[in-house]
């Protein structure tokens, strides 16, 4: 067990170092940060001087190691655009994204499980077909278009829900939340649907497929043969076995929900990390871009690690030499 | 009064002391909810020379004199100003009885301190004070500004130079403008203490800023001051911004996309107010290099031939761009200078007639009967419909045989191409905060040197013209100066260095509840706003 | 030989198995074909996808106008309503014209061409890369397996959009300005393809690790077949049905990913719009009353992606013997 965890940890660190290298070096080539710092009225002399002061003339590896060294102590430098420490900006923005991602994930999970079970049990009902097809329509349109259509219908035409932002936000000092006010909750609805729709479809299909498979298993047949009530078979036996893989996959999906928030946040002007990242790309704000990518990688690696360790603890088969060999 | 508007990371306030942002604010007629594309970059008044940053700062801080809603220069912290007998010294009489938000009294010391702060190395405003050699306190309410040679246009440069409280700045370690490259995050970046009509109550950059009226503002009775609270939200996506206005979630947006003007104007509760903007959109051409990298002509630069540039100039159908791309929201022009600027004449402004045949003939004369191919660099997030303008121009040039490859990208990636002289054909827009031609010449016409011509992407260089441009700064005889300006424009126009397209028109969308004219520099000063009763 | 041991659902199994029956009869009896003929949804979706592919392939002959030829565009044609003559030029456009005076119908046909091309080539690229790496990892095992799967982990820790943005970032740095327009499409293909190979690799690897212990592989080894021959000829076909299902769904995803990237400003140039670029441009006109600029391209994308997804759905159920 200890060696397994140690090996996984080591791998995680290597993954992070590689991500750091990639994100840092690559974004170095997008545009010119100096231009944005100085603005239109700067002279050539200002320009050259600033390049020197920021060390942008140093070889990229030197810049990378400087970056890595500071990153280890939590210092990602100062945003070229906002001129404030990146760590501080990220800490300010993270609650908005995490809250949105959490609500979307919850929506996707509950919606996915409920619809998944329904469509698995009533395989040939019209409603099942309608749900299956309807969910496909949701994933057959780009997210940004769904978001704009929702804004158009529910904010502009019906005026039911807000079109942008988080509404009234409560500041707890270390965290800002929109969950405690009516306007905050109303503001969450459209972005959460936009962001969660794809995952909901994914989970629903997964639950349906797993459920159908489990229902074919011998022990379910035995249970039926033994005259156990159908409800008990479905909800206590079949469902429990369906949900184990579903939960682990949902865990892994949380990372991509956060990443896909980029699009939802730009459509809804949601003041989170995704919007920050898109702004950073447009302004060539390298410290923010690099920190964001590192953060996404860290979140993903941690989730991966937890899922791996849990699987290892729960499922003895995973301890063999063939990790992940179960399809 | 000090307002810590930082999110107070780590200063973990427990639930009972939680600050409810915007919670206590009733939606009465005195709150104005305002949105635009971009947020202010910093509250430090001297750290950025940029429109949206100045807009927010103008609500909180004040300059000695400022441009009102019609862009006329009016007194602010200075009550009067005039050159002294010595033409290199300007005298400013300061307003009495003014206090900062924290209660400190405004005096000449604050002016001297602020100007010296704005001239420091880390200031972004220092270029505007480049001619200033010293600033001297005469008495508590009089200062003298001394310039290198006479500078008759000095007041024009001071409209965005904000005055801070010396005591507050020094006490909070903000005596120098914010120095970002060394990671300095001074107190003035997230806190503010001005003399302006509004005080900051909370601010989350790029998310939400709330201001409330300054009860002790000196201008009470002089300005409407009907707005008691301002809630400012930047909304980047144009569709979302318009949606927020249409759904009644904001009261005013500064940048209505031209295609949505009709929808906004036809809404029973909304109106669109427009005004000509102080900004010209134009194409720049590389006239100086012997060969171009981005064309398909070997060993020659087609743009070096003035006939080719003339052909391009008349092949662009400006009225069509105005009618379709801009939906009427632009004023076609033939010169890279908005009408506000000293030096503008109706004759210069007239744009050449769209004439495909003549353009083809000119190309043929220049030896390009079959046209040529070239890359057009274009920003896609800076000016109104910038990318669409480039697309339309590409199609129009296609008609005379010039095959344009369009390369459109965000401004952060587009502008360096111009400054590093890596583009041969590009779109640029230019506003003139000093309202004088010299500003245009310094940046766009003078050959590129360490100090001047940094935005001149044409590689045009004319020593004689350079000398004339440099001479403008210290020419005290305004008639003579204007004559030189006209001479310089004559050369720029004859050479067709730039193909001007149009001057932008500003469109503010707002609720009918308010009465607020559009400011030509796109600077809403909310103290002038009136509610329709 | 191994053929007999393979699951009956394998699509390749009807190729060289010749009996007395006619070829047609045999095809009709194939369970996949049988299931296809009994599913109106599958037939309908397949027809739509086929029709759209044909329309895209023959766009230059079908479209009334070439929207990529800038010299033929007239700005004054802009914003014509569908089927209503333009107020300045008098020209009529079936589905209206956009802000540049482009015929929307022609733009959709040409855009479909680019979207489908990008989607198909990106998926092929991902399949080739993923299958090759998955096969290598599963067959060879050991450190190579560990290495490839670790790379896959790194890849997965960056969601596809981020990978595409990264690749666009590098491409911008290395491709000279004059080549960018022509390179943009290939950059998109590589970006979408690279962000998508992991699932193919994982699937193939999983199948290979279980298959390589099976009797027929051991038998083939015993009679002296080389390891690569076994891997390519005997094991690879077993992965094909899974690849086909993932690939079909992947095509819909790739087409939508292209649209999303274009929304984020890293798509094909606006002078040669794909379906996604048309939608990005069109969404700006949602509130202004020029509904046709958004509606028709969006509808085209929806119908295309939905049909591909329905086809993939059907295919997965049809290829899964347990569910039949």
Whether the predicted pLDDT of C319 surpasses 70: yes
Domain presence at residue B15: no
Please state, rounded to an integer, the average pLDDT across all residues of chain A: 80
Q: What residues pair up with B377 in beta bridges, in sequence order?
A: B407, B426
- The pLDDT of C148-161, averaged and rounded, is 75
Per-residue pLDDT at B468: 94
Domain presence at residue B474: yes
The reply to whether residue B12 touches residue A77, judged by beta carbons under 8 angstroms, is no
Domain presence at residue C143: yes
pLDDT-derived band at B133, boundaries 50, 70, 90:
very high
Shared domain for B327 and B390, answered yes or no, is yes
A50, A159, A283 ranked by CB distance to B248: nearest: A159
Give residues 413 to 442 of B whose Cβ lies within 8 Å of A: 413, 415-416, 419-420
Q: Give the pairing of strands B31-36 and B252-253.
A: parallel
What is the CATH classification number for the domain harbouring B355?
3.10.105.10
- The pLDDT of C267-294, averaged and rounded, is 87
Per-residue pLDDT at A28: 61
Domain presence at residue C195: yes
Per-residue pLDDT at B156: 87
Shared domain for B485 and B522, answered yes or no, is no
Domain presence at residue C53: no
Per-residue pLDDT at B31: 93
pLDDT-derived band at B495, boundaries 50, 70, 90:
very high
Shared domain for B348 and B463, answered yes or no, is yes
**B44 near A82, Cβ under 8 Å?**
no
Please state, rounded to an integer, the average pLDDT across all residues of chain B: 88
Q: Which residue has the higher pLDDT, B340 or B184?
A: B340
Per-residue pLDDT at B9: 34
- Sequence-separated (6 or more) residues with CB below 8 Å from residue A215: A120, A238
- Sequence-separated (6 or more) residues with CB below 8 Å from residue A2: none
Shared domain for B219 and B295, answered yes or no, is no
Chain C interface test: which of A7, A138, A145 (most C C-beta within 10 Å): A145
C71, C99, C269 ranked by CB distance to B388: nearest: C99
> Which chain A residues are closer than 8 Å to B245 by Cβ?
none
CA distance B132 to B148: 6
Shared domain for B306 and B390, answered yes or no, is yes
Residue C277 contacts B where some CB pair is shorter than 8 Å: no
Per-residue pLDDT at B83: 92
**B49 near B160, Cβ under 8 Å?**
yes
Shared domain for B212 and B294, answered yes or no, is no
Q: Which residue has the higher pLDDT, B179 or C265?
A: C265
Distances (CA, A) of B441 to A302, B281, B437, B460, B491: 57, 16, 6, 12, 12
Residue B4 contacts A where some CB pair is shorter than 8 Å: no
Chains that touch A (3 or more CB pairs under 8 A): B, C
What is the CATH classification number for the domain harbouring B78?
3.40.190.10
Domain presence at residue B14: no
Per-residue pLDDT at A107: 93
CA distance C127 to A29: 29
- pLDDT, tens digit, 9 for 90 and up, residues A80-106: 777 778 888 898 889 999 999 999 999
Of B502-516, C150-164, C284-298, the one with minimum mean pLDDT is: C150-164
Q: Which residue has the higher pLDDT, C115 or C237?
A: C115
Shared domain for B463 and B517, answered yes or no, is no
Domains of chain A in sequence order = 93-284 (1.10.3720.10)
Per-residue pLDDT at B301: 94
Shared domain for B450 and B486, answered yes or no, is yes
> Which chain B residues are closer than 8 Å to C272 by Cβ?
none
What distance lies between CA B271 and its chain's CA centroid? 24
- pLDDT, tens digit, 9 for 90 and up, residues B192-251: 999 999 999 988 888 889 999 999 999 998 999 999 999 999 998 888 999 999 999 999
Q: What's the domain count of chain B?
A: 2
Annotate A249-279 with three-state secondary structure: HHHHHHHHHHHHHHHHHHHHCCCCHHHHHHH
Q: Which residue has the higher pLDDT, C161 or A175?
A: A175
Of A59-68, B226-235, B284-293, the one with minimum mean pLDDT is: A59-68
Per-residue pLDDT at B225: 93
Q: Which residue has the higher pLDDT, A53 or B408?
A: B408
Domain presence at residue C124: yes
Whether the predicted pLDDT of C3 surpasses 50: no
Whether the predicted pLDDT of B26 surpasses 70: no
Residue A68 contacts C where some CB pair is shorter than 8 Å: no
C69, C78, C270 ranked by CB distance to B408: nearest: C270
Per-residue pLDDT at B183: 47
Q: State the nearest Cα–Cα gap between A279 and chain B, in angstroms.
A: 9
Distances (CA, A) of C65 to B404, C68, C72, C79, C106: 19, 9, 9, 16, 6
Domain presence at residue C191: yes
> What domain range is C217 assigned to?
114-275+305-323
Domain presence at residue C141: yes
Residue C221 contacts A where some CB pair is shorter than 8 Å: no
Whether the predicted pLDDT of A264 surpasses 90: yes
Distances (CA, A) of B30 to B206, B213, B251, B253, B533: 23, 10, 11, 17, 12
Q: Give me Rg for the CA atoms of chain B.
A: 25
Q: Give me Rg for the CA atoms of chain C.
A: 23
CA distance B233 to A275: 14
Of A28-37, A138-147, C312-321, the one with minimum mean pLDDT is: A28-37
Per-residue pLDDT at B181: 45
- The pLDDT of A250-272, averaged and rounded, is 85
- Sequence-separated (6 or more) residues with CB below 8 Å from residue A236: none
Q: Which residue has the higher pLDDT, B61 or C224?
A: B61
Q: What's the domain count of chain C?
A: 1
Per-residue pLDDT at C12: 45
> Which chain C residues are closer than 8 Å to B242 by Cβ?
287
The reply to whether residue A142 touches residue C279, judged by beta carbons under 8 angstroms, is yes
- pLDDT, tens digit, 9 for 90 and up, residues C173-232: 666 666 666 777 888 888 888 888 888 998 888 888 888 777 777 888 788 777 777 877
- Sequence-separated (6 or more) residues with CB below 8 Å from residue A219: A237
CA distance A281 to C162: 11
- pLDDT, tens digit, 9 for 90 and up, residues B402-459: 999 888 877 767 887 888 888 999 999 998 888 899 989 988 999 988 778 888 999 9
What distance lies between CA B281 and its chain's CA centroid? 13
Whether the predicted pLDDT of B19 surpasses 80: no
Of all residues in chain B, what percent carry a pLDDT higher than 90?
67
The reply to whether residue C206 touches residue A325, judged by beta carbons under 8 angstroms, is yes
> What domain range is B133 assigned to?
25-247+513-531
- The pLDDT of A19-36, averaged and rounded, is 63
Shared domain for B97 and B143, answered yes or no, is yes
The reply to whether residue A282 touches residue B412, judged by beta carbons under 8 angstroms, is yes
Whether the predicted pLDDT of B280 surpasses 50: yes
The reply to whether residue B396 touches residue C78, judged by beta carbons under 8 angstroms, is no
Shared domain for B334 and B299, answered yes or no, is yes
Domain presence at residue C254: yes
Domain presence at residue C130: yes
**B63 near B111, Cβ under 8 Å?**
no
Whether the predicted pLDDT of A282 surpasses 80: no
Per-residue pLDDT at C19: 52
- The pLDDT of B351-376, averaged and rounded, is 94
Per-residue pLDDT at C26: 73
Whether the predicted pLDDT of B342 surpasses 80: yes
Whether the predicted pLDDT of C21 surpasses 70: no
CA distance B521 to B55: 10
Whether the predicted pLDDT of C324 surpasses 50: no
- pLDDT, tens digit, 9 for 90 and up, residues C49-76: 999 999 999 999 998 888 888 888 888 8
- pLDDT, tens digit, 9 for 90 and up, residues B448-490: 887 788 889 999 999 999 999 988 887 878 899 999 999 999 9
Q: State the nearest Cα–Cα gap between A243 and chain C, in angstroms.
A: 19
What is the CATH classification number for the domain harbouring C190?
1.10.3720.10
Per-residue pLDDT at A22: 72
| Full-model pTM | 0.83
pLDDT-derived band at A170, boundaries 50, 70, 90:
confident
């Amino acid at each position: 067990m200890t060696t397994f965890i140690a090996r996984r940890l080591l791998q995680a660190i290597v993954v992070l170092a590689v991500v750091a290298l990639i994100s840092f070096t690559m974004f170095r080539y997008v545009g010119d940060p100096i231009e944005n710092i100085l603005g239109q009225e700067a002279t050539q002399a200002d320009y050259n001087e600033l390049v020197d002061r920021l060390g942008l003339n140093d070889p990229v590896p030197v810049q990378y190691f400087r970056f890595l060294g500071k990153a280890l102590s939590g210092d990602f430098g100062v945003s070229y655009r906002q001129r404030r420490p990146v760590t501080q900006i990220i800490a300010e923005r993270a609650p908005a994204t995490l809250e949105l991602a959490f609500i979307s994930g919850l929506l996707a999970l509950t919606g996915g499980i409920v619809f998944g079970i329904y469509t698995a049990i009533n395989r040939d009902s019209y409603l099942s077909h309608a749900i299956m097809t309807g969910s496909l329509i949701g994933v057959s349109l780009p997210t940004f278009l769904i978001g704009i259509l929702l804004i158009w219908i529910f904010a502009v035409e019906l005026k039911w829900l807000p079109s942008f932002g988080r509404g009234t936000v409560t500041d707890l000092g270390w965290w800002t939340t929109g969950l405690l006010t009516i306007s905050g909750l109303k503001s969450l609805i459209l972005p959460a649907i936009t962001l969660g729709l794809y995952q909901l479809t994914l989970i629903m299909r997964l639950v349906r497929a797993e459920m159908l498979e489990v229902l074919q298993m011998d022990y379910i047949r035995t249970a039926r043969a033994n005259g156990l009530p159908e409800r008990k078979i479905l909800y206590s036996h079949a469902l429990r076995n369906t949900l184990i893989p579903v939960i682990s996959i949902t865990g892994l999906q949380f990372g991509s929900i956060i990443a896909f928030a980029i699009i939802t946040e730009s459509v809804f002007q949601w003041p989170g990390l995704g919007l920050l990242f898109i702004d950073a790309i447009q302004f060539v704000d390298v410290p923010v871009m690099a920190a964001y990518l590192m953060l996404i990688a860290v979140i993903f690696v941690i989730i991966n690690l937890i899922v791996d360790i849990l699987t290892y603890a729960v499922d003895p088969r995973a301890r063999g030499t063939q990790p992940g060999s179960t399809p | 009064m000090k307002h810590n508007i930082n999110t107070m990371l780590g200063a973990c306030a427990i639930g009972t002391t939680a600050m409810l942002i915007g919670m206590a604010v009733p939606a009465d007629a005195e709150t104005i909810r305002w949105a635009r594309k971009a947020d202010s970059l910093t509250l430090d008044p001297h750290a950025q020379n940029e429109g949206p940053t100045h807009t927010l700062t103008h609500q909180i801080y004040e300059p000695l004199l400022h441009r009102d809603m019609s862009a006329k220069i009016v007194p602010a912290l200075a009550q009067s100003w005039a050159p002294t007998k010595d033409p290199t010294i300007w005298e400013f009489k300061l307003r009495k009885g003014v206090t900062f938000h924290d209660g400190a009294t405004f005096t000449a010391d604050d002016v001297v301190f602020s100007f010296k702060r704005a001239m420091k190395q880390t200031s972004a405003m220092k270029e505007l004070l480049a001619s200033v050699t010293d600033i001297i306190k005469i008495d508590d309410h009089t200062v003298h500004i001394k310039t290198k040679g006479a500078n008759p246009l000095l007041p024009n440069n001071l409209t965005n130079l904000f005055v801070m409280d010396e005591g507050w700045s020094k006490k909070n370690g903000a005596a120098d403008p914010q120095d970002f490259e060394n990671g300095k995050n001074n107190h003035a970046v997230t806190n503010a203490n001005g003399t302006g009509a509004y005080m900051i109550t909370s601010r989350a950059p790029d998310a939400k800023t709330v201001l409330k009226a300054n009860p002790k503002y000196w201008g009470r009775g002089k300005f409407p001051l009907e707005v008691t609270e301002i809630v400012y939200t930047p909304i980047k996506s144009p569709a979302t911004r318009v949606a927020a206005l249409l759904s009644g979630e904001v009261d005013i947006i500064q940048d209505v996309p031209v295609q949505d003007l009709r929808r906004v104007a036809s809404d029973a509760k909304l109106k669109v107010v427009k005004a000509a903007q102080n900004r010209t959109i134009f194409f720049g051409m590389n006239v100086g290099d012997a060969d171009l990298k981005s064309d398909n002509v070997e060993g020659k630069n087609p743009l070096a031939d003035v006939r080719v540039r003339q052909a391009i100039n008349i092949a662009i159908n400006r009225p069509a761009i105005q009618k379709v791309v801009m939906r009427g929201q632009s004023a076609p022009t033939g010169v890279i200078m908005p009408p506000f600027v000293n030096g503008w004449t109706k004759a210069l402004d007239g744009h050449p007639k769209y004439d495909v045949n003549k353009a083809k003939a000119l190309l043929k004369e220049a030896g390009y009967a079959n046209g040529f191919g070239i890359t057009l660099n274009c920003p896609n997030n800076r000016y109104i419909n910038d990318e669409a303008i480039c697309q339309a121009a590409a199609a129009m040039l296609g008609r005379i045989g010039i095959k344009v490859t369009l390369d459109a990208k965000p401004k952060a990636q587009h502008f360096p191409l111009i400054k590093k002289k890596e583009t041969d054909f590009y779109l640029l827009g230019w506003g003139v905060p000093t309202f004088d031609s010299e500003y245009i010449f310094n940046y766009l016409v003078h050959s590129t040197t360490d100090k001047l011509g940094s935005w001149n992407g044409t590689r045009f260089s004319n020593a004689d013209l350079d000398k004339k441009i440099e001479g403008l700064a210290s020419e005290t005889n305004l008639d003579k100066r204007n004559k030189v300006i006209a001479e310089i424009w004559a050369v720029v126009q004859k050479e067709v260095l730039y193909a001007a397209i149009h001057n932008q028109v500003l469109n503010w969308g707002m609720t009918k509840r308010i009465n607020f004219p559009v400011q030509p520099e796109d600077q809403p000063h909310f103290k002038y706003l009136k509610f329709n009763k | 030989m191994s053929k007999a041991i393979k699951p009956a659902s394998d699509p390749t199994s009807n190729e060289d198995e010749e009996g007395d029956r006619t070829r047609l009869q045999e095809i009709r009896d194939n369970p996949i074909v049988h299931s296809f003929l009994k599913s109106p949804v599958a037939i309908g979706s397949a027809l739509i996808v086929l029709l759209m592919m044909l329309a895209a392939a023959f766009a230059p002959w079908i479209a009334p106008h070439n929207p990529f030829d800038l010299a033929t565009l007239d700005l004054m044609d802009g914003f014509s309503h569908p089927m209503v003559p333009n107020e300045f030029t008098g020209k009529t456009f079936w589905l209206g014209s956009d802000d540049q005076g482009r015929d929307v119908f022609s733009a959709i046909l040409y855009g479909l061409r680019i979207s489908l091309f990008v989607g198909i080539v990106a998926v092929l690229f991902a399949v080739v890369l993923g299958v090759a790496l998955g096969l290598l990892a599963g067959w060879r095992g050991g450190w190579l397996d560990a290495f490839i799967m670790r790379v896959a982990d790194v890849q997965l820790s960056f969601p596809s959009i981020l990978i595409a943005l990264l690749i666009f970032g590098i491409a911008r740095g290395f491709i000279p300005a004059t080549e960018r327009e022509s390179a943009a499409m290939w950059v998109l293909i590589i970006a979408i393809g690279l962000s998508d190979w992991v699932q193919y690799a994982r699937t193939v690897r999983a199948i290979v690790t279980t298959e390589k212990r099976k009797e027929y592989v051991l038998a083939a080894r015993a009679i002296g077949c080389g390891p690569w021959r076994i891997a390519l000829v005997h094991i690879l076909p077993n992965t094909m049905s899974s690849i086909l299902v993932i690939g079909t769904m992947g095509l819909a995803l790739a087409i939508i990913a292209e649209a999303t990237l274009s929304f984020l400003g890293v798509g094909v140039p606006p002078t040669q719009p794909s379906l996604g670029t048309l939608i990005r441009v069109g969404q700006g006109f949602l509130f202004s009353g020029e509904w046709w600029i958004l509606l028709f391209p969006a509808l085209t994308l929806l119908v295309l992606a939905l049909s591909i997804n329905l086809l993939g759905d059907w295919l997965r159920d049809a290829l899964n013997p347990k569910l039949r």
